[in-house]
Chains A and B, each alone.
Chain A
Amino acid sequence: MNNFDSYRRNFLSIVGITAGAAASVTLAPNLLLREAQAKPDDEAVTDAKRWGLLINVDKLEDGGDACIAACKKEHGWGDDPKSNQAQDAQWVRKVKVTEKLTGHSFSLPVMCQHCETAPCVDVCPTGASMKRADGIVQVNKHICIGCRYCMMACPYKARSFVHETLVDQRPNSPRGKGTVESCNLCVHRIDKGENPACVDSSPDAIVFGDLNDPDSTISKELEQNGGSQIRADLGLNTGVRYQGI
């Protein structure tokens, strides 16, 4: 990993703050893509932010089909060559939950939960499964050896393995045979100051924002109405929270 010394990091953050302030003055309000300002392209991410999602299952009319379709389109998965169903890519899964006693059932999209203490990062022998400073958990496919330990470790079944040679990948989402892949919170869009694709597809049901900022929409909503983690008992402090489950 590239380690910048603290002087440079501080200097860059000051430059970033002034640049960000200047940008917010000059940009018209309707040009702001999301509430948190995009960092300058050449500035490294810091742990000042922690990105998170809040998914309101009650407001997802189709149980998450729209956001899954948006994810497939953004990252180009879902139509890959395969020899059996078990090889399907699963960046997001639609999970149907039924309460046995009452028969009440609903569906929710389950993807990488972007844990603070991610089991997949712990078990990776090469450091390919990694957590970025801003809380995004992703696979560095350059050094992934395809051992699939992370797939075994993930309690959410969030990861999948590419079994066949792929062509015509999306330019911002490289995928290839022999590597593990999962939701990366549309990291390329976040770095540009945009929302993840699933959020744009269901803006009423999914909120994206900075969990570290107490004034962000997601933090306020979580403070007022709460949001639960799936398998909170594991104590992973997930970045993806749900309402209505």
Chain B
Amino acid sequence: MFISLLGLSACDSEPPELMKASNKFESDEIRDKHVAYMRTNHMDALKHKRDETMYDGIRTEEHSLNACINCHVPESHNGEVLRHTDQEHFCTTCHTYVAAKLDCFECHVDHPTKLDYELKSAKTSISQKKSILKNMADSNIESMQLKSLDKKELMELAFKHVNNQQSTKPPKSGGVSFKALQNSDLESNSSNKPNQTQKTEELTSE
């Protein structure tokens, strides 16, 4: 009797903290519904969608595994690609906790990957980046220092500038260019990344 009580008290442990998703719902109510539905049904929804896609070619975003990954898994975590073998991975954290084997990532990619057309849009965001730098120079924000800065420092300046712009703009309109900027800078210095991710979190929480 005592042992079983001990066992019960062990079940009280809190479920693990999950990684934050990158997109935001319009309201907390919609988010809570999504979370409640997915906690119980994500496996059935994914399996249903998988058959619809295989047999009928239905490729909507709803319940698409790629869409889940793109929102729930960051492109980089502490400067590295986050894989399903890492405990921080959104799916792995919970699946380890409940000891349910996760088969999806034997075949499917476990982190967001740029498709060709998205890479093209990343290229345009490089031109956006340049135009932002140009605007900075035009508006004489530290324009005297620009010449002596290297690429990394230029990027930090650009991010600061975007952050300033975003605090004055509604978050939706500013968010797009910032996100694109962040994506396009993936190939550059990895030491920047922790800072950048922190900034996104600050932005989205505003």
Contact = CB atoms under 8 A, between A and B. Distances in A.
A19 to B, nearest CB: 14
Contact of B108 (A45, A138, A169, A190): A169
B83 A167 contact: yes
B130 to A, nearest CB: 27
Interface residues of B, number: 20
Contacts of A188: 59
Interface string B104-120: 00111100110100000
A2 B109 contact: no
A192 B59 contact: yes
B58 A171 contact: no
Contacts of B57: 39, 44-45, 132, 134, 187, 190-191
Contacts of B142: none
B40 interface: no
Interface in A126-181: 130, 132-134, 138, 140-142, 165-172, 174-179
B2 to A, nearest CB: 46
Contact of B56 (A2, A166, A175, A176): A2
B115 A44 contact: no
A42 interface: yes
A174 B108 contact: yes
Nearest to A176: B107
Name the prevailing secondary structure of the A interface residues.
Answer: loop
B55 interface: yes
B60 interface: yes
A46 B107 CA distance: 27
Interface in B37-75: 50-52, 54-60, 66, 69
Contacts of A142: 50, 54
Interface residues of A, number: 35
Interface string A29-53: 0000000000101111100000000
A170 B58 contact: no
A45 B12 CA distance: 49
B51 to A, nearest CB: 6
Contacts of B54: 130, 138, 140, 142
A22 B191 CA distance: 50
B56 A45 contact: yes
Nearest to A165: B106
Contact of A174 (B51, B55, B109): B109
A132 B58 CA distance: 12
B55 A176 contact: no
A234 interface: no
B55 A170 contact: no
The 10 closest A-B pairs by CB, nearest first: A176-B107, A44-B56, A174-B107, A45-B57, A176-B106, A191-B57, A174-B108, A169-B109, A41-B60, A140-B54
16 contacts: A2-B51, A2-B56, A39-B57, A41-B59, A43-B58, A44-B52, A44-B57, A45-B56, A141-B107, A165-B106, A167-B109, A172-B115, A174-B107, A174-B109, A190-B57, A191-B57
